[in-house]
Amino acid sequence: MKGGNLHKLRGNRLSLSLLALLCTTLIVWAWEKTPSLSTFLPPREQFDIFSPATVVPARTPVTISENKIETPSAKEDLSAVGRPVNALPNEAGKVVVIPQSDSSMRTSSEKEDKGKGSKNMPVEKKECNYAKGKWVADKRRPLYSGFGCKQWLSQMWACRLMQRTDFAYEGFRWQPQGCDMPEFKGSEFLRRMQHKTIALVGDSLGRQQFQSLMCMVTGGNYSPEALDVGKEYGLVKAPGAIRPDGWAYRFPSTNTTILYYWSASLCELEPLNRSDPATHYAMHLDRPAIFLKQYLHRFDVLVLNTGHHWNRGKFTANRWEMYVGGKPNTDRKIAQIWNARNLTIYSVIKWLDAQLPQHRQLKAFFRTISPRHFVNGDWNTGGSCDNTIPLAGGSEVLQDGSNDTVVEGAVGGTRVKLLDITALSQLRDEGHISKYTNKALAGVHDCLHWCLPGIPDTWNEILYAQL
């Protein structure tokens, strides 16, 4: 009898395993069938299941080099010695101060307010879908020199200062279909942004957009008059940290402030043991980063993004543990990382939308995911992006919808605007750092971040067009 039960149990296990194998095969097959998708979405981790012990070893390397791709500067990497490989300084050692207020994201009763704001605004121009259009060669590009802008541009993203010899990718501008893009002029931008604060909050791709904006505004020229006002936003280097959690600069001529805050997930992170330097963090999927709540009232323009940290490697290295409703997550569906990202994006946007009536000065944008272009492997398995011919795969975006359906869906019906750059950036595989990434990472190609000047400049032009 016992033996029979055991056999039955084994049989059940076996069929379960077979089922799992079948599912995996189907998923992998479906995945490979959509190579375009697989290139621009973070790899595989969408299919994380709740506790798949067998998958863990395969993930470990992801952690290490993805982070290196995040911070490929030799200097920064060297100074990171002794830290968890994948933890960025702000995530690693920082103690987050949690205000006592109820930090869950709630929709307030301000919904009726929708539309009121537009009454006071000048007659709106015909809505333009800036995401639809084509790339055209333009001799007036780039908007600043990659040899300059040393004040703002990280060396790790300044491809003009690398061994790279092809720069054709710099010579294009984006032309939306049926509507015009205002020509970006730094002085005009500052004039329009007089007494205003522009905040970019997100991951390293958000930081690229920030550096790009600083270079565009100054034309890449040295600007000693720009004031470092990081302190006003708590952006100071914590003891032992490599860098602060962000930067803020003010142009005194127009009293315009541009800032960037590092928040890879946009979630509130709460250390679970404040006295432990190696503490894990409650990653509150349904609460926005504290920084956003703290400073929202001071922003006139806010651009959010999150994308490439939603994978198991990053979660492990950063010691993030999913929390929902203030408690550890037990929902298996949410535990799948791509669903967790979905939940967070919806939550942040819902919260932000509810805040907007009380912050009438604020124009809020959510930027869609920036596409990756690894081919013949991923970043850690020899993947590369060697094409140097611009627009080899086509120059036009013809579709009306976004390729980032999560962000598009989440802003739908809210006052938060879509900054849709996914499909147009997808056409620019030659614009990544590629193999010219830092020597310390020989062999690892960066097909995630972009050369600057480059594609993120266009994101800012599209942002400017919508301000």
Ligand X SMILES: *[C@@H]1O[C@H](CO)[C@@H](O)[C@H](O)[C@H]1NC(C)=O
Number of residues that bind ligand X (CB under 6 A): 16
Residues of span 149-208 touching ligand X by CB under 6 A: 195, 197
Q: How far is the CB of 71 from ligand X (least distance, A)?
A: 26
Q: How far is the CB of 254 from ligand X (least distance, A)?
A: 9
CA distance 309 to 332: 19
Q: How far is the CB of 144 from ligand X (least distance, A)?
A: 25
CA distance 458 to 467: 14
- 265 makes contact with ligand X (CB under 6 A): no
What is the dihedral sign for C-alpha 391, 397, 403, 409?
Answer: positive
Residue labelled with tokens 């002029």:
185
Q: How far is the CB of 438 from ligand X (least distance, A)?
A: 28
Q: How far is the CB of 156 from ligand X (least distance, A)?
A: 26
Which of the ranges 109-117, 146-154, 220-228, 397-405 carries the binding residues for ligand X, by CB under 6 A? 397-405
Cβ proximity to ligand X: between 162 and 455 the closer is: 455
Among 403, 414, 437, 458, binds ligand X (CB under 6 A): 403
Cβ proximity to ligand X: between 60 and 358 the closer is: 358
Cβ proximity to ligand X: between 80 and 345 the closer is: 345
Which of the ranges 86-94, 178-186, 237-245, 269-277 carries the binding residues for ligand X, by CB under 6 A? 269-277
Q: How far is the CB of 36 from ligand X (least distance, A)?
A: 4
Q: How far is the CB of 401 from ligand X (least distance, A)?
A: 5
Give, rounded to a whole angstrom, the gap between the first and last alpha carbons of the chain: 75
Q: How far is the CB of 253 from ligand X (least distance, A)?
A: 11
Cβ proximity to ligand X: between 180 and 276 the closer is: 276
- 253 makes contact with ligand X (CB under 6 A): no
Q: How far is the CB of 339 from ligand X (least distance, A)?
A: 5
Among 423, 441, 451, 452, binds ligand X (CB under 6 A): 423
- 339 makes contact with ligand X (CB under 6 A): yes
Using Cβ positions, the residue closest to ligand X within the complex turns out to be: 276
Cβ proximity to ligand X: between 69 and 285 the closer is: 285
Among 221, 273, 381, 466, binds ligand X (CB under 6 A): 273
Q: How far is the CB of 333 from ligand X (least distance, A)?
A: 8
Cβ proximity to ligand X: between 105 and 444 the closer is: 105
Cβ proximity to ligand X: between 184 and 346 the closer is: 346
Which of the ranges 44-52, 272-280, 323-331, 438-446 carries the binding residues for ligand X, by CB under 6 A? 272-280
Cβ proximity to ligand X: between 76 and 378 the closer is: 378
Which of the ranges 68-76, 226-234, 373-381, 395-403 carries the binding residues for ligand X, by CB under 6 A? 395-403
Which of the ranges 74-82, 115-123, 260-268, 273-281 carries the binding residues for ligand X, by CB under 6 A? 273-281
CA distance 204 to 309: 10
Query: Of the candidates 380, 355, 216, which has an alpha carbon nearest to the alpha carbon of residue 298?
Result: 355
**Phi, psi at residue 190, to the nearest 5°?**
-65, -40
In the numeric block, which tokens belong to residue 426? Answer: 């997808």
**Interacting residue ranges for ligand X, rule: CB under 6 A:** 36-37, 195, 197, 255, 273, 275-276, 339, 342, 346, 399, 401, 403, 423, 426
